[in-house]
Chain A
Amino acid sequence: MAMHRKRIPPVLWLGLVPLSFLSLVMLAPLLRIGVEAVTGASGATGAMVADLWREDYLRWRIIWSFVQAGATCIAALVLAVPVAWVLARFRFAGRGLLLRLLMLPFVVPTLVAAMGVLALWGPHGLVSGWFGIHLQDTPWLLLYGNLFFNLCLVVRAGVDALGHVSAARVAAARTLGASPWRVFWRVEWPAIVPWLASALCLVFLYCLSGFGLALVLGGQRYATAEVEIYTLVAHELQLAQAGVLTVCMALLTALVALAYAWIEQHLAIPGRPDAIALRRPASWRQWAAVGGAVLVLGVFCGAPLLAIAVRAVQAGAPAWATVLEDDSLQAVGNTLRFTAAALVLAVVLGVTHALAARRSVWLRAAAFLPFVVSPVAVAFGLLLLYPQWTASLWILVAAYALLAYPFVAQSLGAALDQLPLHLTQAARTLGATPWRLFWRVTLPLVLPSLRRGMAFAAATALGEFAVTLFLSRPEWTTLTTLIYERLGRPGAGNRDAALVLAALLMLLALLAFLLIDNPGRRDGTRTRLVAGAAHA
C-alpha cells in the first residue's frame, strides 16, 4: 500500500463513482430515516440500546441470526471445498453446464423454492414417502434452505481460486515427493483462502440479512433480526426501535466485512498465469470423486429445482398456456430489460470499486455496505428523501444495482489481488500506458472472474431481492412479481401457473448465465493470454 505517496493515486479517484452512488441511494436515505427516528414521537435514546439487549426476545433474535449464519458458513465450507476441487481439476461431460446450473437457486423466488423443498422433504414429500420422516419444522430444514441458496457462491469461488493455483508450484511439490493431500494443504489451500474468505463473508452477510427460505420453512420462531427490523419499519412504523436495531446490526456486520477486507488484503498472493490443465478422471477413484461432487450438488442445490421443474411439467398444457398471456410476455420483457439495465450499472460500479479498492482496506470493506445495511431501512429512507421519485424506474434499477454490484466488486477484487506482478511490470517497462496495460493485460487476466461476478449480479437482479420493498407499478411487473401475484390467490390453477412461470424464469436465467459466463470463451481467454504473455 503506497503510504509513501502523499497525493491521492489516480486510480483511487475511480472510487468516486461507487461512493457517489452509495451516498445517493444508500447513506443519504439511511441518514434521513435516522433523523426521522430521532425526531419522531418516541425518539431513539441510549436507553433503548440497553433495553434491546436486556429483552430476551430481541437478544435471541440477534444471537440466532449470527448462529445460523455461522453454521451455514461452516457447512458450506466443508461441502464446497472438495466439490470445488473436483470441478476445478477434472474434465467431464456437462461440467460447464453444471457450473452455470449452480447459480439457479439465486433466481428462484423464495416461496417457490420453499414449495420445491417441501415437495421433497415436507410431510407429503418424496423423501418422507420413502423413509417415513419429514424435516418440516426442524432446524435441519433451515440449514438445508440456507445451503440451497449459498453453496453455489462458495463452490464457484473455490473453482475460480483453484484455477489460479500455479501449475509449476504444484508440479514442483509433487516432484519433491509431496502426496496430493500434502500438496493441497501446503500449496493449494493457502492460495485459495482469500477467495473462500470473500465468498464466505458474502454468505455470512446474506444469511444474516436473511429474509429468505429459512423463514418460510421455519416459521416465525426462526425469524432473524432483519425480519424484526422489517416488521418494525414496514408494519409498525416504530422507527426509533428499528433504528437502534439497524445500527446495532450494521455495526456488528461491518466488523465482519472489515475483518474480511483485512484478511483478503494481507493473505492475497500474486498468482502466475500457468493454470493447471483440466484432465479426464483416469481411475475409478477419480470417477467416484466426480460422482460424489455431483451427488452433493444434486442433493443440496439440484433436487428442489428439479422438483419445481417436474411439477411445472406435470401442470400440463393449460398452465403452460399462461406463458403466452399478455401479462406473462410483458413480465418477461420487463425482467430482461431491468436485468440488463441493472447489470450495466452494476458492472460500472463494481469495476470502478474493485480497481479503487486495491489501495484501501476501507474501500474494500465498503463494497459490502449494501449487504451490511438493512434493505427495508434503505427503502423507507428513499421514500422519505425522494418522495417525488419513489415510483420512478430509476430508483428501482438503482436498487437492483445496489444489491447486485457487490458481487462484481468482490469477484473482481479477488482476481486483481492474484494478478501476476511480472506481467504488469514487464508491460510497464515496455512503455505501455496505464490504460493500455489495463486493456491488454489486466482485463484479459481478470475476465473470467468478472464474468462470474456479472453472472451472480444478473442472478440477483433476476431474482426477488428488494423488489417487494419498493413502490411498484402494474406495468413494471416482472416474472418474480407475477409469480407472487399468482401465489396471492387460492386455486390449483394459480399454483400451477406460478410453477410454470418459475420454470420459465429458470430457463431464461440459464440462458443469461451461458451468455455472460460462457465456458467456451473462458478457456479461449486463457489460451490467448498465455500466448500474449509469451509475446511480452
Chain B
Amino acid sequence: MLRRTFSLWAASLAASGLLLATGAASAQELRVLVHSSFSLPKPMLAQFEAQSGIKLSIIKGGDAGEMLNKLILTRAQPIADVVFGIDNALMAKARAADVLSPYAGAATQRVAAVPLDGPVVAVDYGYVNLNYDKAWFAKSGLALPQKLDDLAQPAYRDLLVVQNPATSSPGYAFLLATIAGMGEEAAFDWWGRMRANGLKVAKGWSEAYYTEFTRNGGSRPLVVSYASSPAAEVFYSKEKITESPTANLFLKGGVFRQVEGVALVKGGQQSEAAGKFIEFMRSAPVQEALQTTMWMYAAEPRTPRPEVLRHAVEPTAFDNPPAELMAQKGADWVSRWTRVVLK
C-alpha cells in the first residue's frame, strides 16, 4: 500500500513540474517592498502614479526585520525593485548580505535632519522609549522611576512589559539602547535583575500595548513604545482630549533613535522609476503626511510639524551603539538576551 501511495505521489510530482514550467509573471510596474507599518494617504500614491506614469505595486513583507530577511532570502531573484523601511538597526545586516544598490539622486544631495549612512536614503526618524500610564501612577502614588536601575527595585516589581528583541523591532531597539547606555555587562546584569523583578516579555508591540499595558486592561503601567505614541493617543482618542493619557519617560539607556529610509534593491529592475519613488518619499507632501500616518518625524528639515505632535516632544539625548558594533554583535546580543531573560 505504501508503494502504491508513493507511485501516485511520483506521478503527481511530474504533473506539478509540467505546470510550473509554464507561466511566469511579467508586469511593467515598480515593485515596492515595505514593512507592515508603511502607510501613506491613498490619493497621494494615486497622484504619484498619475504624474510619473509608474504603476506602483506595493508588497507588505511583515515586520521590518522579517521583511529584510525575505529580501535576503530571495536575493538571487529579487521580489522587489525598491525597499522602504530598513533602519539604522538593520543596516549592518542589509549591508553584509549585499542586497541594496547605491543611489545618487537629488534627495541624497540634501542634508537630512538625521544622518543615515550606507545606500539607504533617510525618510523619517523616531525614538523607542518607555511610555507610562499617567492615571495609574497618579492613582498609585508611586513616584516615576528616575533611572532604569529603579525598575529593578522591589517597589517597581511587575510594572514593565517589553517586546522580545528576537521578534520585534522596538524590542530590539530598546535592548540596543540599554547596552549603549549602560555598557554590555552592566546592561545584561540589569536584564537579569529585571527578570527576577517580574519583567514581562510580549511577542510584539501590539501584544504588549493591547493586552499588557494598564491603559488597555493589562497589569503593566510601563511599556516600551515610541516617543510619538502619546501624540497618537490624542490623535486617535474617542472624544476630543487636550492632554494625552500616556507620557514619555526618557531614561538614560532607555532611548534609541531609529532612522529609516528607502533604497534600491540590488538586481531589481526599473531603476529609473525606483529613483523617482525615492525622490517622492522625500518630497514635501509625503514628508508632511507621514508624521501622522506612520508617526515618525520627517527627515527633510523644515518640514512643518503637525499641531498634534506637540504631545510628542523629542528627547534631548539617546543611546545608540556605534554602527560597527551593532553590525558585529547585534545577533550575539539577541541570543545573550534570550539566555538571560527567557531561558
A contacts, CB < 8 Å to B: 1, 3, 8, 12-13, 15-16, 19-20, 23-24, 28, 36, 56-57, 111, 114-115, 118-119, 122-125, 134, 136-137, 215-217, 219-221, 227, 230-231, 233-237, 316, 318-319, 359-363, 366, 380, 383-384, 386-392, 468-469, 471-474, 484-485, 487-496
Q: Which residues of B contact A16 (CB under 8 A)?
A: 8, 11-12, 15
Q: List 15 A-B contacts (CB under 8 A).
A: A13-B8, A16-B15, A20-B12, A36-B73, A115-B217, A216-B211, A217-B211, A221-B201, A316-B238, A318-B238, A361-B1, A386-B20, A473-B58, A487-B209, A490-B225
CA–CA, A536 to B250, complex, Å?
81
Q: B16–A362 contact, CB under 8 A?
A: no
Q: B12–A495 contact, CB under 8 A?
A: no
Which 8 residue pairs are nearest across A and B when measured between Cβ atoms? Answer: A491-B236, A493-B236, A20-B12, A123-B219, A19-B12, A220-B201, A387-B77, A57-B343
Q: A360–B74 contact, CB under 8 A?
A: no
B19 within 8 A of A: yes
B205 within 8 A of A: yes
- The answer to whether A118 and B236 touch (CB under 8 A), given A20-B15, A234-B66, A490-B229, is no
CA–CA, A263 to B207, complex, Å?
40
Complex partner residue of B232 from A119, A383, A490, CB under 8 angstroms: A490
Complex partner residue of A236 from B78, B166, B205, B232, CB under 8 angstroms: B166
Q: A492–B69 contact, CB under 8 A?
A: no
Interface string of B62-84 (1 = CB under 8 A from A): 11011001101110111100000
B202 within 8 A of A: yes
Q: A237-B72, A391-B31 are in contact. List 8 more A-B contacts (CB 8 A).
A: A57-B339, A221-B201, A359-B1, A383-B70, A389-B25, A390-B79, A491-B235, A492-B237
CA–CA, A496 to B225, complex, Å?
20
B contacts, CB < 8 Å to A: 1-2, 4-5, 7-9, 11-13, 15-16, 19-20, 24-25, 31, 36-37, 57-63, 65-66, 69-70, 72-74, 76-79, 164, 166-167, 200-203, 205-207, 209-211, 214, 216-219, 225, 229, 232-238, 246, 295, 331, 334, 338-339, 342-343
Q: B69–A220 contact, CB under 8 A?
A: no
Q: B19–A124 contact, CB under 8 A?
A: no
CA–CA, A318 to B239, complex, Å?
9
Q: B236–A219 contact, CB under 8 A?
A: no
Q: Which residues of B contact A361 (CB under 8 A)?
A: 1
Q: Which residues of A contact B218 (CB under 8 A)?
A: 118, 122-123, 136
- The answer to whether A235 and B69 touch (CB under 8 A), given A216-B211, A387-B77, is yes
CA–CA, A119 to B219, complex, Å?
12
Q: A219–B201 contact, CB under 8 A?
A: yes
Q: B210–A115 contact, CB under 8 A?
A: yes
CA–CA, A219 to B37, complex, Å?
23
Q: Which residue of B lies closest to A231 (CB)?
A: B166
CA–CA, A361 to B1, complex, Å?
8
Q: B57–A220 contact, CB under 8 A?
A: no
Q: Which residues of B contact A12 (CB under 8 A)?
A: 4, 8
Q: A387–B74 contact, CB under 8 A?
A: yes
- The answer to whether A23 and B200 touch (CB under 8 A), given A387-B74, A471-B60, is no
CA–CA, A421 to B64, complex, Å?
58
Complex partner residue of B60 from A360, A362, A472, CB under 8 angstroms: A472
CA–CA, A137 to B37, complex, Å?
29
Q: A215–B236 contact, CB under 8 A?
A: no
Complex partner residue of B37 from A234, A386, A488, CB under 8 angstroms: A488
Q: A118–B5 contact, CB under 8 A?
A: no
Q: A362–B15 contact, CB under 8 A?
A: no
CA–CA, A234 to B204, complex, Å?
14
Complex partner residue of B16 from A23, A234, A484, CB under 8 angstroms: A23
Q: Which residue of A lies closest to B226 (CB)?
A: A490
Most buried by B among A8, A23, A233, A361: A23
CA–CA, A484 to B63, complex, Å?
12
Complex partner residue of A391 from B59, B69, B164, B229, CB under 8 angstroms: B59
Q: Which residues of A contact B74 (CB under 8 A)?
A: 383-384, 387, 390
Q: Which residues of B contact A359 (CB under 8 A)?
A: 1
Complex partner residue of A496 from B7, B9, B238, B295, CB under 8 angstroms: B238
Q: A219–B200 contact, CB under 8 A?
A: yes
CA–CA, A221 to B16, complex, Å?
42
Q: Which residues of A contact B37 (CB under 8 A)?
A: 488
Q: Which residues of B contact A363 (CB under 8 A)?
A: 5
Q: Which residues of B contact A319 (CB under 8 A)?
A: 238
B205 nearest CB across to chain A (Å): 7
Q: Which residue of B lies closest to A211 (CB)?
A: B203
Q: B246–A488 contact, CB under 8 A?
A: no
A304 nearest CB across to chain B (Å): 12
Q: Which residues of A contact B219 (CB under 8 A)?
A: 122-124, 134, 136
Q: B59–A493 contact, CB under 8 A?
A: no
Complex partner residue of B217 from A125, A215, A390, CB under 8 angstroms: A125
Most buried by A among B19, B209, B234: B209
Q: B236–A1 contact, CB under 8 A?
A: no
Q: A383–B200 contact, CB under 8 A?
A: no
